[in-house]
Structure 1
Amino acid sequence: MIDVSTKKSALVVPQTFANDFGKGGLNFAHGVVRSESDPVYFSHMRKGKPLLNVALQASLLGAEPAKLAGKWLYLGGVYNHFGHFVAESIHRAWAWRQYGQDCCGVLLLPKLKRFQTRYRIPDYAKDLLGLFGLEERHLHFVTELTEVEELLIPEPGSQLFLPPSEEYIRFLASLDLPRHLAAQPLPEGFTPKVMVSRQHYRLYGAIAGLGALEQRLAQEGYFIFCPEQYPVATQLKVYLQAERLIFEEGSALHLLELLAEIKAEVLVIERRLNAKASSFDSVLAMRAPHYRKYSQAVALPSLSTAKFAGANTLSVLDLTALAEFLVQHGFASPALLQGFTWQPQAKNDVLDYLLVRSNPPAPGFDGCVLGYLQRVQEIFKNLAEK
């Protein structure tokens, strides 16, 4: 059973510019200050464990806290990134349906930018929270140390890198999104075969040359879907109506966390062969009975030594082999392979990435570029020898 706790005179620590989301797991301080008897989910949770630097949190408790009267529901930290917002900032909102009538609203802890004094929640975040029955008037943003008269703290129904609980899946089913979205129009040109594209993110983490395959899939009757161009409701409607879904691994996949069941055949083309890519297994395994992934990509070296730069690297894979896989598993007809060429497009993407993402003044730049070019040469040489 998903748990919920009540704490009076609860002390809430906000995110700060220097800590929390985007700063690594050892630098988390936000959350509800807990005693030894309080549950670990007073802190942000990933993979069943609290992310909390106790000493860092303690260092932020010296200021006189602001006072917030009334009874409130805690939703936790806001991650200013679509995929992470879905995966990490909404899964306590299940409690609003059961407890919201007794609460003044919900508490969200945004991360302010440097010199920013007021937070404006993105439209996609309002739309997502709206699916749980929350309106903008219910949202209260905590940006300073705050003592809350009475606070309900729900356990998150889902966590990054963990499958959702069966109870949370039942809750998602009770949202009845197919009925809720029945009147939502589908995009012009929609077909039940959908390729979810990152074509506008080729320079920010993608697979080189995949645009060439997308063009061939369009000839096979696929709807090439760029989800960032549509509101959340339209994205969900597309996924609910699809019979086949091909995703290039990316943030769009996280929206599937709002669905209790995915009836479509789902293929994820991984671009990062690491734990972050595998995190989508936890999203899809319980929801999509017809789920498979293609894991043959080789990531090129990053052009930056900055922390987390690897998340935006370009990857390369043999797209002919991928096309054969699509045919073999019924995602496309044999016509997909006839005259299919992709290497010129891939090489253009590799060059564009180098030109656009290069930062000559950055530390270690020469070494990064040399490593990048050597790896490109090695990969295409190996492909030519196949």
Structure 2
Amino acid sequence: MTGRVTSHNRPLQRPDPLEGWSRRVEILTDAVVIPPLERSFVQPSGILRKNGTFCAQGAHWRKTRPLTVRPQKPTGPVARLPGTWLWGGVLFRHFGHFIVESSGRLWPLPNLPEKIDGVLFTPKSPGAGYAPEPFHLDFFAMAGVPRVYQADRPLQVEKLYVPGQGFGLGEIIEGTDHARAYFRNHFARNISPNGPEKLYISRSKLGRGRGKLLCEDHLDTLLANQGYEVFHPQAHDLPTQVARYKAAKHVIASEGSAIHLFAMVAREDQKLAVMARRVSQATDFILRHARSFSGVDPVLVNTLHRSWVPENESVARLWLSELDFTAAHRILSDHGFISGPSWEDPSENAMEDAKKKASGVPLAPIISEGKPT
């Protein structure tokens, strides 16, 4: 099968997209899978081998550290899960984190030496409900997953394939060669392109409390006048989203999680422009993912006048930003996405209105180098 299959594993180490545990598969029998007991950033959770040792191969990494660490061995009886399973790791309920962080162990699926019963996960948040969301089911169907099982209690698994984490947040955002090949050759192959050649992936209809560009509805109108379909992915199921992303030759996207799904089905001959809405490492992750998985070289349109955040908050995902429309037009025009006369910014009154509608709470300016951005 693709990747190295082992029955033992090295000590825990950082994911390396070129070599090491992220490109191997360990096979375990009668291992015990233990879900987290409490909500926290780093959680004791994961896999104990039959002999009681921690299977570091199954740990979930984000950036420079594992978010799942060795759990305690259960003291009472443990339920048994019969059959043969692939270890999926942590099942996130947030769309963006799910796409990037719950898909990194699917890469061996086409090349496993035997039929499996499904993919086994632990939940990120215990007690939050275990039923998968529709987008989970859509994604797994496109991934060729026969069944998904979440461990809501310790389980002894008859047979478990434990692949290394081939994709995720951090240096591994570009994926291993195995992970990239899996998405390129096997993911969503049954979804045909369906949609226009020009697509704008908008965040303008997201509700309050979500980071976005202020007056993005103005940008919607300007791009619609350029022949772009203004597409709101949250209003469509994942197969519809994928069909649109496959069909478009020119894609402009307001920076967000939708671009991660685009990256998984994009082709090298497509053009992508990303409208920055914040200053964040997440922006770099999005660009690197799109570039490494598809070969597309994204154009970053980073022309923010000023940015705001709800008072007493600082996280970049909540930023509400004012776009310099004239500068954005220049970049998009220079790269062949649009043509025609320059754009003008919305009025100050329109911006003030947009701030009130987008948040509903007092906003504070983001300070950069001693000055508001």
Same fold (TM over 0.5): yes
**Residue 14 to residue 382, structure 1, CA distance change in 2 (3 Å):** closer
Equivalent residue letter for 2:45: H
> Given residue 31 of structure 2, which amino acid in structure 1 is its aligned partner?
A
The equivalent of 1:85 in structure 2 is: 98
Q: Deviation per CA, 1:306-336, whole angstroms, max 9, x where unpaired?
A: xx85422322232222122222222111235
* 1:50 corresponds to 2:55: no
Instruction: Specify the alignment match of 2:29 in structure 1.
Output: 8
Between the aligned partners of 1:32 and 1:140, the Cα distance in structure 2 is 15
Structure 1 length-normalised TM: 0.79
Separation of aligned partners in 1, 2:301 and 2:161: 42
2:44 aligned counterpart, secondary structure: coil
Report what 2:185 is aligned to.
Answer: 174
Does the residue aligned with 2:182 lie in a helix, a strand or coil?
helix
Contact 1:88 1:159 in 2 (8 A): yes
SS of match in other structure, 2:26: strand
Q: Which of the numbers 37, 40, 45 marks the counterpart of 1:30?
A: 45
Shift of 1:271: 1.6
Query: Structure 2: which 5+ residue stretches go unaligned?
Result: 4-22
1:149-169: per-residue Cα shift (whole Å, max 9, x none)?
A: 321111233122320122322
Name the structure 1 match of 2:165: 156
Of 103, 108, 111, which residue of structure 1 is paired with 2:121? 108
Corresponding residue for 1:361? Answer: none
Listed one character per residue, the Cα deviations across residues 220-266 of structure 1 (whole Å, up to 9, x for unaligned) are: 11110111111211111111111111111111111134226343111
Give the secondary structure class of the aligned counterpart of 1:75.
strand
C-alpha separation between the residues in 1 aligned to 2:118 and 2:152?
A: 16
1:94 Cα deviation (Å)?
A: 2.6
- Between 3-12 and 292-301, report the one with greater CA deviation: 292-301
> How far apart are residue 38 of structure 1 and its match?
6.8
Matches within 5 A, 1:1-386: 1=3, 2-16=23-37, 18-19=38-39, 23-24=40-41, 27-33=42-48, 40-47=56-63, 49-54=65-70, 57-58=71-72, 61-99=74-112, 101-111=114-124, 114=127, 119-135=130-146, 138-161=147-170, 162-175=173-186, 177=188, 180-182=190-192, 186=194, 190-201=195-206, 203=208, 204-259=210-265, 261-286=267-292, 287-297=294-304, 298-305=306-313, 310-337=316-343, 341=346, 343-355=348-360, 358=361, 369=362, 372-373=363-364, 375=365
CA distance in 2, matches of 1:331, 1:343: 27
Contact 1:73-1:100 within 8 A present in 2 as well: no
CA distance in 1: counterparts of 2:329 and 2:134, whole angstroms = 37
Mapped to 2, the partners of 1:36 and 1:108 lie a distance apart of 20
| Larger displacement relative to structure 2 (315-324 or 213-222) | 315-324
Structure 1 residues 353 and 51: CA distance shift in structure 2, 3 A: same
Q: Which shifted more, 37-46 or 2-11?
A: 37-46
Structure 1 gap ranges (5+)? 359-368
Give SS of 1:102's match.
Answer: coil
1:109-147 residue CA offsets vs partner (Å, 9 max, x unmatched): 234664x6x621111111111122223xx2222101222
- The one-letter code matched in structure 2 to 1:78 is L
Query: How many residue pairs were aligned?
Result: 344
> What's the secondary structure of 2:311's corresponding residue?
coil
User: Superposition RMSD on alpha carbons, in Å?
Assistant: 3.0
| Distance in 2, Cα, partners of 1:221 & 1:49 | 45
Structure with the largest fraction of strand: 2
Segment drifting more, 67-76 vs 103-112: 103-112
After superposition, the Cα gap between the structure-2 partners of 1:282 and 1:33, relative to the gap in structure 1 and judged at 3 Å, is: farther
